[in-house]
Structure 1
Amino acid sequence: MFARNRVLREVDQGGNTAAAQALIETNEPILSFDTAYNLQLAISQYEPFVAAGGWEEIPQEAYNLSIGKGGKANIAVKRRLISSGDMAVVENVDDMFDQQTDAGVRAFQARHGLIVNGQVDEPTWYAMSVPAQTRLNQLYLNFQRVQTMAANLSERYVVVNIPAATIEAVAGGMVEQRHTAVVGRVERATPIMASKVSQINFNPYWHVPKSLIERDLTKYMQEDPEYLTKQNIHIYDGSGAEISPTTIDWTNIGAAVNYMFRQEPGAENSMGHCKINFYNPYDCYLHDTPTKALFGENARFHSSGCVRVEGVNQLVNWLLRDNGDWDQARVDTTFESNERLDVECKARVPLHTTYITAWANKQGTVSFRDDVYQFDAQGKVTFEEA
């Protein structure tokens, strides 16, 4: 008890979180020749370690361990953190979850894109349980992916990294903005593609795609006949005349898809205050969202293929900086006004959606993400891009 109280007094959880974030929040792009070089260095470090047997398995008893807790499972957690470089080597590995263990867990969580809370929660336990050989295989695959893509990059570009559910706005070889994102779930995956940003739609209408009418809208209306009204969605026939939801048989999917469903601009609009257009055959785009809480989750795979962007107003300002008459204040004011406005981007900034599950920076920090679409399992190095 006395040891636990001492640990709780000494630990600086805020400082440990800041140190963990500093390991990954550099201005180095995930896609670059520098990252390819850093991945080579990581491979050279992981290969002999894996050949020697890798790290030990984490027992189930480690689940939910956190600062101040004692028990033999702490020894396994510490040995695991030391093995992956998240915790410094200590002379004696004891059974107390102390300041150093808290710092190590937070570093591990930051490197794996997890919520940094210092607790061996379920996502952290599963990430710790991934064998070192699997991580080495990820390094091999992603070195080839990054090396291949880096040759096609321009001076300025946007990257959506699907496994990390993050976005980087890059210029002059440096990340100028980094955004948390929500990307497509497994059954409605965000496609891999290369394109150029063409237009910003402020406070757009949302025309519900036919696929969503078939899969979702008819089901929602059967569950709640007031759903369309609550979501401010109007229905129009082929001549443009608005019709009442009560005239449609919602159990007949074929009948519903013959109409156009349009959501009005406003707080409930599925695209929020803006839509970022780029040429592609998938009807895919970046956009704002009213469901901001999703950005705080570990696994942000919820969309139907499009990409939701946290802090999208800042990205819009970055994309429009060559337009001359746009700044952050004007972007924010236009958002708040709910005014419908389309702005052509004078600079057609390249945009890449890609699949990188492992990368490294010049500090030697190696980051990993889950193989959510199973492209690593398939050994995919290149992708057919639209």
Structure 2
Amino acid sequence: MRLSRRHLLTSAAAAGATLAMPAIGRAEDGGFDLFAKDRAMRNVDRDGNTATAVSLVETIEPILSFDTAYNLQLAIQNYEAFIAANGSWDEPTRETFGLELGKSRKAVSQLKRRLMINGDMALEKRINDDFDAKLDAAVRLFQARHGLIINGKVDEPTFYALSVPADYRLNQLRLNAQRVEQWASTLSDRYVVVNIPAATIEAVEESQVVQRHTAVVGKVDRATPILNSKVHQVKFNPYWTVPQSIIEKDLVRYMNEDMEYLTKFHIRAFDSKGNEVSPTTIDWSTAQDPLRYTFRQDPGGENSMGHCKIDFYNKYDVYMHDTPQKALFGENARFHSSGCVRCEGIDSLSAWLLRDNGDWDLPSVQAAFENGLREDVPLKVQVPIHTTYITAWANRQGTVSFRDDVYQFDAQGLVNFADA
């Protein structure tokens, strides 16, 4: 089943019957004190609600683990029972879009009912139309479970996630339960997981997540490959050699837009004999001539790999690295790379990977970054890394998380991946 955000807001039903829940009624206004209401809204602990939401999602279970496989089976049972009894939940109405703290309209009570069904909000017998502190906390939890920017507002990504039918979510749970079980049986005591749909990285040790990092992964047309490998080297302040695919798809276009592009970003051109040449001597009218050259970016602040590159064995020439484009880590959809994985807080991950080398800890890694140290450090103990595709999982607290099927592997029903 394939979903699209296209026309979602404009095609939402203008009104819809709320899911029948006999235990939930609607409260009367009863002369509510508007001034008291305004004071209550101002005193809502938004940051506290966000922190609580994150704590309910980011527990210590690795996404690839037998614990997660078990928790997924429980989630499947709950969704099956709900669908058997109710069919699905109602889609949000157009009036749901834009709801946030302090709003008061009929769509608020409908949103409360929906979030009670999902377990994001405690069940209440009487429901009013006020977007109150409890609903703010519930929306933030819903956003955390779906990997969205947590702002407490029903913005476009949140509206889209609310619009996904229950049977679609059940299908995600079933597919991913099979994927997790398949991977869990192959894991060692210490490993790194890149979950592509979530654009996140976990460092795992003794069946617990010891580090979690936000990532940026491959675009749909330049997907990050799914594989099992081993991290074997950390490079500090590396040179970056531009891959041929990027020369062909990007660099030629950039140079046609601005002939100073290579100079501005400290990228040098070399011929087949290793001699540096001027970019102006290259024919940029097509990709044919540029592909005859090697383009290498100097270390430094503008380097596309930032201060660090983490190498693991693979045939795709992909790796993990730092980036000067830190703002990308704050986006909802972090699918911007040409297949490599950019890692936020890569200094901490590098120190964890290099701990068996003896001379490396977090302060020494940070000093290498700051001082521009140019050094390649092989790991004395190579660490397994798994790049995988999990769009639904659950933790021991019963919190169920979902992500978009960005590469359409769920739509294809893929469980086994050729390179895994």
TM-score after normalising by structure 1: 0.98
Match of 1:266 in 2: 300
2:201 is paired with a residue whose SS is strand
Equivalents in 2 of 1:326, 1:2: separation in Å? 58
Match of 2:95 among 45, 51, 61: 61
Q: CA deviation at 1:299?
A: 0.4
Q: Which residue of 2 aligns with 1:304?
A: 338
The residue that corresponds to 2:405 in the other structure is 371
Distance 1:131 1:2 in 2: 39
Matched, 1:47 2:80: yes
Q: Which amino acid aligns with 1:348?
A: Q
C-alpha distance in 1 between matches for 2:252 and 2:277: 16
1:5-51: CA deviation from partner (whole Å, max 9, x where unpaired): 14413422121111111101211100000100000111111101012
C-alpha separation between the residues in 1 aligned to 2:127 and 2:326?
42
Partner of 1:248: 282
Q: Which runs of 5+ in 2 are unaligned?
A: 1-33
The 5-angstrom pairing of residues 76-225 of structure 1 reads: 76-225=110-259
* Matched letter for residue 149 of structure 2: I
Task: Give the Cα–Cα distance (whole angstroms) in 2 for the partners of residues 204 and 68 of structure 1.
Answer: 50
Matched, 1:21 2:39: no
Q: Percent identity?
A: 65
The one of 259, 263, 277 aligned to 1:229: 263
Residues 185, 303 of structure 1: 8 Å contact kept: yes
1:339 shift after superposition? 2.2
1:286 aligns with 2:350: no
Confirm whether residue 344 of structure 1 aligns to residue 344 of structure 2.
no
Aligned to 2:3: none
Instruction: For 1:50 and 1:117, locate their aligned partners in 2 and report how far apart those are by CA, in whole Å.
Output: 30
Deviation at 1:2, TM superposition (A): 3.5
* 1:37 is the counterpart of 2:85: no
- Counterpart CA distance in 2 for 1:352 and 1:70 is 47
Q: In structure 1, what is the Cα distance between the partners aligned to 2:380 and 2:369?
A: 20
2:27 paired residue number: none
Deviations 1:107-153 (A, max 9, x none): 10111111111000110000011001111111100000000110000
Q: Following the alignment from structure 1 to structure 2, what is the Cα–Cα distance between the partners of residues 108 and 129?
A: 13
Distance, in Å, in 2 between the alignment partners of 1:159 and 1:2 is 50
Note the aligned Cα RMSD (angstroms).
1.0
Task: Deviation per CA, 1:60-86: give whole Å up to 9, x if none.
Answer: 111111000111111221111011000
Does the 8 Å contact 1:7/1:67 carry over to 2? no
Q: Secondary structure at the match of 2:61?
A: coil
| Alpha-carbon separation, structure 2, partners of 1:136 and 1:214 | 41
Equivalent residues in 2 for 1:1-20, closer than 5 Å: 1-2=34-35, 4-20=37-53
**Number of residues paired by the alignment?**
386
Counterpart amino acid of 1:302?
H
How far, CA to CA, are the matches of 1:10 and 1:186 in structure 2? Answer: 43
**4+ residue segments displaced more than 6 Å:** none
Partner residue in 2 for 1:331: 365
For 1:115 and 1:17, locate their aligned partners in 2 and report how far apart those are by CA, in whole Å. 10
Q: How far did 1:4 drift?
A: 4.6
User: Which sections of structure 1, spanning at least 5 residues, go unmatched?
Assistant: none
SS in 2 for 1:349: strand
SS of corresponding position for 2:311: strand
Cα distance change, pair 3–133 in 1 and its aligned pair in 2 (3 A): farther
- SS of 1:375's partner is coil
Aligned partners of 1:45 and 1:2: how far apart in 2?
41
User: Does structure 2 retain, via aligned residues, the 8 Å contact 1:4–1:69?
Assistant: no
Task: Report the alpha carbon displacement of residue 156 of structure 1 after superposing the two structures with TM.
Answer: 0.3
Query: Secondary structure of the equivalent of 1:14?
Result: helix
